[in-house]
Amino acid sequence: MVTDITDTVHAVDAAAVMALLPAPPRLLALGEPTHDEEALLDLRNDLFRHLVEREGYGTIAIESDCLKGLVVDDYVTGGEGTLDAVMEHGFSHGWGAHAGNRELVRWMRAHNTGRPPSERLRFAGFDGPLEITGAASPRQALTALHDHLSTRVDAALLPCTTATLDRLLGTDDRWTDPAAMTDPSPSVGQSAEAGRLRVLADDLVALLDAQAPHLLAAGSRGDWDRARLYGRTALGLLRYHHWMADASSARLTRLVGVRDQMMADNLLALAARGPALVHAHNSHLQRAKSSMRMGGMPLEWWSAGALVNARLGEEYAVLATALGTLRHRGVDAPPPDTVEGLLYARPEERCLVDAPRLAAALGDVPLAPRVSPWFGYAPFDPAHLAGTDGLVFVKDVARG
- CA dist., res. 287 & res. 17, Å (int): 18
Structural domain contains residue 157 = yes
Nearest to 385 by CA among 345, 352, 363, 356: 356
Mean pLDDT throughout 287-308? 91
Per the CB < 8 A criterion, the answer to whether 247 and 266 are in contact is no
Question: Please, what is the average pLDDT of the chain?
Answer: 96
Is residue 1 pLDDT above 70, yes or no?
Answer: no
Q: Which helix (H) or strand (E) holds 324?
A: strand 316-325
Please report the sign of the dihedral spanned by the C-alpha atoms of residue 77, residue 80, residue 83, residue 88: negative
Distances (CA, A) of 377 to 276, 281, 335: 26, 10, 16
Which amino acid makes up residue 313? G
**pLDDT interval class at 149 (50, 70, 90):** very high
Orientation of helix 221-244 relative to helix 192-210, angle to 10°: 160
Mean pLDDT throughout 116-139? 94
Number of domains in the chain: 1
Model confidence over 312-360: pLDDT tens digits? 999 999 999 999 999 999 999 999 999 999 999 999 999 999 999 999 9
Task: Provide the pLDDT for residue 126.
Answer: 98
- CA dist., res. 283 & res. 306, Å (int): 10
Structural domain contains residue 180 = yes
172-178 long-range contacts, Cβ below 8 Å, gap at least 24? Answer: 172/137, 172/139, 174/137, 175/135, 175/136, 175/137, 175/138, 175/139, 175/241, 176/134, 176/135, 176/136, 176/137, 177/134, 178/133, 178/134
Orientation of helix 251-271 relative to helix 304-312, angle to 10°: 40
Task: Provide the pLDDT for residue 289.
Answer: 94
Is residue 132 pLDDT above 80, yes or no?
Answer: no
**pLDDT interval class at 294 (50, 70, 90):** confident
Model confidence over 58-101: pLDDT tens digits? 999 999 999 999 999 999 999 999 999 999 999 999 999 999 99
The model's pTM: 0.96
Mean pLDDT throughout 277-298? 92
How crowded is the C-beta side of 315, counted as CA atoms within 13 Å? 14
Distances (CA, A) of 56 to 26, 31, 49, 59, 101: 11, 21, 10, 10, 21
Task: Provide the pLDDT for residue 2.
Answer: 52
Is residue 187 pLDDT above 90, yes or no?
Answer: yes
Structural domain contains residue 184 = yes
Mean pLDDT throughout 14-32? 97
**pLDDT interval class at 133 (50, 70, 90):** confident
Residue with the bigger pLDDT between 118 and 293: it is 118
Three-state SS at 16: helix
Task: Provide the pLDDT for residue 4.
Answer: 72
Task: Provide the pLDDT for residue 203.
Answer: 98
Structural domain contains residue 141 = yes
Is residue 163 pLDDT above 60, yes or no?
Answer: yes
Structural domain contains residue 205 = yes
Mean pLDDT throughout 146-155? 97
Structural domain contains residue 385 = no
Model confidence over 218-258: pLDDT tens digits? 999 999 999 999 999 999 999 999 999 999 999 999 999 99
Structural domain contains residue 122 = no
Per the CB < 8 A criterion, the answer to whether 184 and 247 are in contact is yes
Is residue 185 pLDDT above 90, yes or no?
Answer: yes
Residue with the bigger pLDDT between 296 and 29: it is 29
The boundaries of the domain holding residue 177 are 135-247
Nearest to 91 by CA among 113, 67, 109, 107: 67
Structural domain contains residue 324 = no
Task: Provide the pLDDT for residue 3.
Answer: 57
- CA dist., res. 383 & res. 304, Å (int): 19
- CA dist., res. 223 & res. 54, Å (int): 29
Alpha carbon 175 to its chain's center: 23
